[in-house]
């Protein structure tokens, strides 16, 4: 994998992979998300993501939205608990148009007060829409249960009350305190030479200098297993069972990824899908998730089922966890699990938009980018004994928390 790396004098980094094809992708990833918010700022990182499209020193909102749409491209953005990203997909001949636009909305947005007031209503509707979907809402409630009274436990959208309080000064203050050049990576995958993308990057990203302070240190994690039931007006019971897990830099992270995929990953042959849905017909949606963060992580199992099947479904889930804690995977099972993960990895690499974002995040978090071959070697090095050890650590019943919507 031939990659171009470059760091400007102001600290912003570039990673680019040249590919063939008509469509290109690029974006700016900023190491700032909802966990950087204070309590009064709850939801402001996501709100700023919305406001980046509402006007700059030289563009109105309409002109921002039309700049790429007029040539068949797409401008987008997202906010997570640890990062904010502005990214685009476009025809290769529109590289400069796109790079300039991303720079403009990131560094020259003016956040008009009239637009702020309108967007508050939009975000509050987004919050209300989310609250109407218990299968999504329960994940946020579960993280609040795991990370009680800590910023990373708060949901990304905020509350109607916090959103209503946002002002120009609050937005400017959050950006000033958290949008730091040395915590930004511009990533690109497309049919453009290294020389041309470097020239565009230097031209449009050299001027902005916000600050160069180090990223915020991690927090102490005060976790206490809990069992909580909430009365909800839903047709199904919704249940999440989970625990704290390993952070992004933990060497056990790869064994955790393998275990999660075996248990309830995207494959229809995952153990939970086979046992709950295929064999017993107890659930339509069932999955497990492992989300590593900068300095911690979270593992969870989710399923929705009829109230009369809740107890049986929970027992089946616990039985599957017990199998992974007590029985080593055989050679054939282990090999199949590794091949499945490597297949997913290869497919993701072929998706150039996904690859672009992955390159940027890897450079931002790890300050390096592993090749597919290097990642596959790490997968191959995981042993059955390591999987058993990880399962006994994370799936230990006394460590698990449960949240049920009834």
Whether residues 253 and 386 share a domain: the answer is: yes
Inter-helix orientation angle 113-131/44-51, to 10°: 120
Residue 219 pLDDT grade (very low, low, confident, very high; cuts 50, 70, 90): low
Over residues 227-253, the mean pLDDT reads: 94
> For residue 84, how far is the Cα from the chain centroid?
10
Is 347 contained in some domain?
yes
Q: What is the DSSP code string of 26-69? A: EEEEES--GGG--GGGTTHHHHHHHHTTSBBSS-BHHHHHHHHH
Q: What is the pLDDT of residue 197?
A: 98
Whether residues 143 and 281 share a domain: the answer is: no
Short-list 297, 317, 160, 324, CA closest to 237: 317
Whether residues 197 and 243 share a domain: the answer is: no
Range of the structural domain that residue 102 is part of: 4-205
Is 220 contained in some domain?
no
Whether residues 63 and 190 share a domain: the answer is: yes
> Are the C-beta atoms of residues 201 and 4 closer than 8 Å to each other?
no
Whether residues 280 and 362 share a domain: the answer is: yes
The Cα 397–Cα 91 span in angstroms is: 52
- pLDDT at 231 > cutoff 90: yes
Residue 324 pLDDT grade (very low, low, confident, very high; cuts 50, 70, 90): very high
Which region among 346-350, 355-359, 398-402 has the lowest average model confidence (pLDDT)? Answer: 346-350
Over residues 131-157, the mean pLDDT reads: 94
Domain's final residue, options 174, 205, 236? 205
The Cα 216–Cα 80 span in angstroms is: 16
| Tens digits of residue pLDDT in 351-398 | 999 999 999 999 999 999 999 999 999 999 999 999 999 999 999 999
Instruction: Tell me how far CA of residue 404 lies from CA of 53, 238, 305, in angstroms.
Output: 38, 6, 11
Q: On the CB side of 101, how many CA atoms lie within 13 Å of its CA?
A: 29
In the numeric block, which tokens belong to residue 231? 């009365």
Q: Provide φ and ψ at 303, rounded to 5°.
A: -150, 155
Whether residues 190 and 108 share a domain: the answer is: yes
Antiparallel, parallel or unpaired: β 4-7 and 13-18: antiparallel
> Are the C-beta atoms of residues 283 and 277 closer than 8 Å to each other?
yes
**pTM greater than 0.85:** yes
Is 212 contained in some domain?
no
Antiparallel, parallel or unpaired: β 84-91 and 237-245: unpaired
Whether residues 124 and 239 share a domain: the answer is: no
**Given CA atoms 247, 250, 256, 257 in this order, what sign does their dihedral have?**
positive
Q: What is the pLDDT of residue 209?
A: 65
Whether residues 57 and 171 share a domain: the answer is: yes
Is 213 contained in some domain?
no
| Tens digits of residue pLDDT in 329-343 | 999 999 999 999 999
Short-list 207, 196, 206, CA closest to 96: 196
| Tens digits of residue pLDDT in 250-267 | 999 999 999 999 999 888
Domain's final residue, options 154, 170, 205? 205
In the numeric block, which tokens belong to residue 312? 């049986």
| Tens digits of residue pLDDT in 91-141 | 999 999 999 999 999 999 999 999 999 999 999 999 999 999 999 999 999
Whether residues 231 and 201 share a domain: the answer is: no
Percentage of the chain exceeding pLDDT 90: 90
Q: How high is the mean pLDDT of the chain?
A: 94
Return the CATH number at 72: 3.30.830.10
DSSP state of 94: G
| Tens digits of residue pLDDT in 313-323 | 999 999 999 99
Cα separation of the two ends of the chain? 50
Whether residues 145 and 273 share a domain: the answer is: no
Domain count, the chain: 2
The Cα 153–Cα 352 span in angstroms is: 31
Whether residues 173 and 251 share a domain: the answer is: no
In the numeric block, which tokens belong to residue 14? 């570039």
Whether residues 182 and 329 share a domain: the answer is: no
Q: What is the pLDDT of residue 348?
A: 87
Antiparallel, parallel or unpaired: β 23-30 and 4-7: unpaired
Is 192 contained in some domain?
yes
Is 219 contained in some domain?
no
Collect contacts of 305-311 with beta carbons under 8 A, ≥24 apart.
305/236, 305/237, 305/239, 305/276, 306/236, 306/237, 306/282, 307/236, 307/237, 307/406, 309/282, 309/283, 310/237, 310/239, 310/404, 310/406
Q: What is the pLDDT of residue 301?
A: 98
> Are the C-beta atoms of residues 381 and 122 closer than 8 Å to each other?
no
- pLDDT at 210 > cutoff 70: no
DSSP state of 220: -
Is 211 contained in some domain?
no
Percentage of the chain exceeding pLDDT 70: 97
Is 214 contained in some domain?
no
């Amino acid at each position: 994998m031939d990659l171009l790396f470059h760091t400007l004098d102001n600290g912003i980094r570039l990673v680019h992979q040249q590919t063939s094809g008509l469509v290109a992708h690029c974006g700016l990833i900023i190491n700032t998300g909802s966990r950087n918010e204070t309590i009064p700022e709850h939801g402001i990182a996501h709100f700023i993501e919305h406001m980046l499209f509402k006007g700059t020193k030289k563009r109105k909102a309409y002109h921002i939205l039309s700049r790429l749409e007029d040539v068949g491209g797409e401008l987008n953005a997202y906010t997570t608990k640890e990062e904010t990203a502005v990214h685009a997909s476009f025809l290769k001949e529109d590289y400069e148009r796109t790079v300039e636009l991303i720079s403009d909305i990131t560094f020259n947005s003016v956040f008009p007060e009239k637009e702020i007031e309108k967007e508050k209503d939009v975000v509050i509707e987004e919050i209300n829409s989310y609250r109407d979907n218990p299968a999504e809402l329960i994940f946020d409630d579960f993280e609040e249960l795991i990370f009680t009274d800590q910023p990373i436990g708060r949901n990304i959208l905020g509350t109607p009350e916090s959103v209503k309080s946002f002002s120009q000064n609050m937005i400017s203050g959050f950006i000033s305190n958290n949008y730091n050049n040395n915590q930004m990576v511009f990533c690109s995958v497309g049919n453009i030479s290294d020389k041309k993308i470097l020239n565009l990057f230097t031209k449009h990203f050299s001027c902005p200098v916000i600050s160069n302070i180090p990223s915020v240190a991690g927090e102490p994690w005060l976790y206490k297993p809990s069992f909580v039931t909430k009365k909800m007006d839903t047709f199904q019971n919704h249940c999440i069972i989970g625990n704290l897990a390993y952070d992004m830099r933990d060497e056990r992270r790869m064994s955790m990824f393998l275990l999660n995929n075996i248990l309830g990953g995207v494959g229809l042959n995952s153990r939970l899908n086979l046992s709950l849905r295929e064999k017993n017909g107890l659930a339509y949606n069932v999955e497990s998730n492992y989300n590593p963060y900068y300095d911690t992580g979270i593992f969870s199992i989710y399923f929705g089922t009829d109230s009369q099947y809740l107890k049986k479904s929970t027992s089946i889930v616990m039985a599957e966890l017990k199998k992974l804690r007590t029985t080593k995977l055989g050679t054939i099972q282990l090999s199949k699990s590794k091949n499945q993960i490597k297949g997913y990895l290869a497919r993701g690499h072929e998706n150039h938009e996904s690859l672009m974002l992955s390159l940027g995040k890897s450079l931002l978090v790890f300050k390096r980018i592993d090749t597919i071959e290097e990642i596959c070697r790490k997968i191959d090095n995981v042993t059955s004994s390591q999987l058993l050890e990880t399962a006994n650590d994370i799936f230990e019943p006394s460590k698990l928390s449960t949240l049920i919507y009834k």
